């Protein structure tokens, strides 16, 4: 009997050790609060719009994390009660109220055709109210019974015939489409062409009385033309005559008629192509146009007229969203204090309805009285109700100074059950762009790596938007220098605060963040691992490969063209400095990436190989810049995490 007990005990011990060893071999992401699949399957909401006593929005869901996406049109009362799905089991998006509130319109791909549909606001069967032949990029209600939509024009038949003779070969510069605005009567089913189709309509607005059309336009769909050479134009719909035109700012956007239709607001850039620092107000009759926010120096995101004398706008403000009122006499005052990261908002009387997030709180729809503190906002929706209790990471703002005294901010995400007495491995994730900003909202990058035991640092280095035009211009002709100094200073601050372990530093990023991951390892050996996703490596060759980072944009970013001063491009190109690299590099790139051309990944890979440095590269077939296929996206995160874990000795 004792021998039996000893044998049983031995078996139990061996079984326990086997189970323990198996558990130790499971990657740490197996224990994360949210799996990659749960991240990819999360619900979302878009385009909230209030009309009288109801709120309208599109709610996106998936049947499985790697399955089909659905977008249902949902309507609810102002407190979030009595939510009704007007459509489901389709991909219906961009919902809008008709001017009288009787109808709700939306774009849908039902029946494998992209068209506009309407449904009664009280519910009913959808009815198709467009006859688009190619692609609908935008639409609005023209009046109570007419929808106006933008449809791509067919390309010139002579050019198409010539290309067919060439076996598909086309003359560069002639491959781009234009579009036109059409009016469709929902009762008669008749349509009428409003614009002639000789240019591209990027965005539009229609005056409340339906008499004037305002467009942001460009020559065609060429991204470079749309960024550098677009213009504002107001057209009398009845006659088709142009009555106002403006093109004295870059990358014009966000166009809105005042309630009377006599004034027009729009946003433009007085510095570069993404500063969005100018909120322009134009008197259409006198054609007087004035930039009302030059001194305030915001990065305008959304705008809404309050009345004929006041307009509201949102802008990034110290990691959150600032919401302001601009009186047309020039006075700017806060509407609510910066607390949320706000994506969309609508002010109705003395209340504001907005979609927002903050730290670990996922995106929801909220309502707030304008005299209340923002943290008192009433949550209207309950998206991801089953997942939200699992989210236990936290995040906050890090303020610090760069090497030259420049004030910089970053977002720091902390692991589950963060212990201030411990130092953690640090995942540094520079954002893309660089014309972008990271804010303290729920974002998959920060949450995912914090889920898996890292402190995550996402710095808003010089070149970021949201901190004024001078800060935005601060890394032009200085890529890899002032921005890199800002990143390293933030790392040093986290080490000084005993948050980050200086011996377990990892850098990884996407797009410009991928460029920075390539660059960093040629400038310092402090990182144990680097991961470049959709990054660039040779700014000289990129000039000829990139869809818009050339000509005017090249002059803005590098202060010279390569034919005049190639050194301005070469001095910030990682491939020319890889001999100094000691950090192992993982390159992840889409085979069909047109934004950061795949050749850039190959150049970095070959350079690292030639220098006999540790490098691996994975190319994802058919993937573009975002590598959006769920299975491939999941692979990116796992490859990134495993590369980091393995090189810092994390078990």
* pLDDT single digits (tens) 526-577: 999 999 999 999 999 999 999 999 999 999 999 999 999 999 999 999 999 9
Average pLDDT of span 265-290: 97
Dihedral of the alpha carbons of 12, 17, 19, 23, in degrees to the nearest 10: 160
Task: Please state, in angstroms and rounded to a whole number, the distance separating the CA atoms of residues 150 and 218.
Answer: 14
Average pLDDT of span 261-268: 98
Take residue 269 and report the two structure tokens written for it: 């850039």
Q: For 566, left (φ over 0), alpha (ψ -120 to 50), or beta?
A: alpha
Distances (CA, A) of 575 to 59, 175, 366, 536, 601: 44, 33, 48, 10, 10
- For 408-449, the pLDDT digits (tens) are 999 999 999 999 999 999 999 999 999 999 999 998 889 999
Neighbours of 552 (CB within 10 A): 14
User: What DSSP element (H or E) covers 578?
Assistant: none
DSSP, residue by residue, 351-390? EEEEEEEETTEEEEEEEEETTS-GGGPEE---TTTTTGGG
Take residue 161 and report the two structure tokens written for it: 């015939």
Share of the chain above pLDDT 70, in %: 95
Give pLDDT, residue 5. Answer: 38
Take residue 349 and report the two structure tokens written for it: 């009387």
> What does the chain come to in residues?
651
- For 373-415, the pLDDT digits (tens) are 999 999 999 999 999 999 989 999 999 999 999 999 999 999 9
Q: Sorting pLDDT into bands at 50, 70 and 90, what band is 33?
A: confident
Q: Is the pLDDT of residue 632 over 90?
A: yes
Which strands make up the sheet holding 200-206, listed edge to edge? Answer: 200-206, 212-218, 231-236, 242-246
DSSP, residue by residue, 89-150? SSBEEEEEE-TTSSEEEEEE-GGG--EEEEEETT----EE----SS-EEEEEEEETTEEEEE
Q: Is the pLDDT of residue 18 over 60?
A: no
Give pLDDT, residue 651. Answer: 63
- For 214-260, the pLDDT digits (tens) are 999 999 999 999 999 999 999 999 999 999 999 999 999 999 999 99
Average pLDDT of span 272-284: 97
Task: Please state, in angstroms and rounded to a whole number, the distance separating the CA atoms of residues 385 and 392.
Answer: 14
Within 13 Å, how many C-alpha atoms sit on residue 602's CB side?
Answer: 8
Within 13 Å, how many C-alpha atoms sit on residue 166's CB side?
Answer: 10
Average pLDDT of span 206-212: 96
Q: Structure pTM?
A: 0.93
Tokens 């065609």 locate to 220
Give pLDDT, residue 14. Answer: 46
Q: For 556, left (φ over 0), alpha (ψ -120 to 50), or beta?
A: alpha
CATH class of 396-648: alpha beta
Within 13 Å, how many C-alpha atoms sit on residue 358's CB side?
Answer: 14
Q: Sorting pLDDT into bands at 50, 70 and 90, what band is 23?
A: very low
Distances (CA, A) of 527 to 8, 337, 518, 521, 581: 49, 38, 12, 7, 10
Task: Please state, in angstroms and rounded to a whole number, the distance separating the CA atoms of residues 180 and 244.
Answer: 19
Note the helical H segments in 459-520.
469-472, 482-496, 512-520
Q: Sorting pLDDT into bands at 50, 70 and 90, what band is 112?
A: confident
């Amino acid at each position: 009997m004792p021998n039996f007990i000893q044998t049983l005990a031995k078996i139990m011990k061996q079984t326990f050790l086997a189970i323990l060893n198996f558990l130790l071999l499971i990657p740490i992401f197996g224990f994360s609060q949210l799996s990659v699949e749960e991240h990819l399957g999360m619900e979302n909401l878009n385009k909230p719009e209030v009309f009288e006593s109801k709120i309208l929005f599109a709610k996106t869901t998936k049947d499985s994390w790697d399955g089909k996406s659905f977008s249902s049109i949902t309507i609810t009362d102002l407190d979030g009660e009595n939510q009704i799905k007007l459509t489901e089991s389709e991909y219906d998006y961009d919902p809008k109220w008709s001017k009288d509130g009787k109808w709700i319109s939306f774009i849908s791909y039902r029946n494998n055709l992209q068209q506009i549909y309407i449904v009664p606001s009280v519910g009913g069967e959808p009815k198709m109210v467009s006859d688009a032949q190619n692609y609908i990029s935008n639409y609005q209600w023209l009046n109570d019974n007419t929808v106006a939509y933008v449809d791509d024009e067919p390309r010139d038949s002579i050019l198409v015939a010539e290309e067919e003779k060439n076996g598909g070969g086309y003359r560069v510069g002639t491959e781009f489409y234009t579009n036109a605005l059409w009016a469709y009567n929902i009762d008669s089913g008749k349509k009428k062409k409003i614009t002639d189709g000789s240019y591209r309509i990027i965005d539009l607005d229609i005056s409340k009385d339906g008499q004037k059309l305002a467009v942001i336009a460009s020559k065609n769909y060429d991204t470079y033309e749309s960024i550098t050479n677009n213009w504002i134009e107001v057209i009398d719909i009845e006659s088709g005559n142009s009555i106002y035109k403006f093109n004295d700012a870059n990358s014009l956007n966000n166009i809105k008629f005042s309630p009377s239709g006599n004034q027009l607001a729009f946003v433009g850039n007085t510095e570069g192509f993404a500063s969005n620092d100018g909120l322009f107000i134009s008197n259409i009759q006198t054609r007087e146009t004035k930039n009302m926010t030059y001194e305030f120096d915001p990065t305008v995101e959304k705008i809404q007229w309050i009345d004929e004398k006041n307009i509201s706008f949102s802008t990034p403000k110290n990691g959150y969203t600032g919401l302001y009122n601009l009186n047309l006499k020039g006075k700017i005052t806060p509407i609510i204090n910066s607390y949320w990261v706000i994506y969309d908002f609508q002010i109705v009387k003395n209340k504001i309805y907005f979609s927002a997030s903050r730290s670990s709180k996922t995106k929801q729809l909220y309502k707030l009285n304008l005299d209340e503190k923002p943290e008192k906002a009433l949550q209207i929706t309950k998206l991801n109700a089953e997942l939200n209790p699992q989210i236990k990471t936290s995040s906050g703002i890090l303020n610090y100074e760069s090497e030259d005294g420049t004030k910089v901010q970053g977002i720091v995400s902390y692991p589950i059950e963060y212990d201030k007495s411990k130092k953690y491995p640090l995942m540094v994730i520079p954002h893309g762009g660089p014309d972008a900003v990271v804010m303290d909202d729920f974002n998959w990058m920060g949450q995912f790596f914090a889920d898996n035991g890292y402190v995550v640092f996402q710095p808003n280095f010089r070149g970021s938007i949201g901190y004024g035009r001078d800060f935005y211009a601060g890394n032009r002709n200085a890529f890899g220098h002032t921005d890199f100094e800002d990143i390293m200073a933030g790392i040093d601050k986290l080490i000084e605060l005993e948050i980050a372990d200086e011996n377990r530093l990892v850098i990884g990023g996407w797009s410009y963040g991928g460029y920075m991951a390539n660059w960093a390892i040629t400038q310092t050996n402090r990182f144990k691992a680097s991961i470049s996703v959709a990054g660039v490596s040779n700014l000289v060759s990129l000039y000829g490969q990139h869809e818009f980072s050339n000509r005017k944009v090249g002059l803005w970013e590098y202060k010279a063209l390569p034919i005049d001063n190639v050194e301005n491009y070469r001095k910030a190109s990682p491939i020319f400095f890889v001999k100094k690299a000691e950090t192992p590099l993982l390159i992840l790139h889409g085979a069909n990436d047109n934004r950061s051309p795949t050749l850039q990944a190959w150049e970095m890979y070959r350079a690292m190989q030639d220098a006999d440095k540790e490098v691996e590269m994975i190319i994802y077939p058919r993937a573009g810049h975002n590598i959006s296929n769920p299975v491939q996206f999941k692979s990116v995160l796992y490859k990134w995490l495993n590369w980091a874990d393995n090189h810092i000795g994390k078990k």
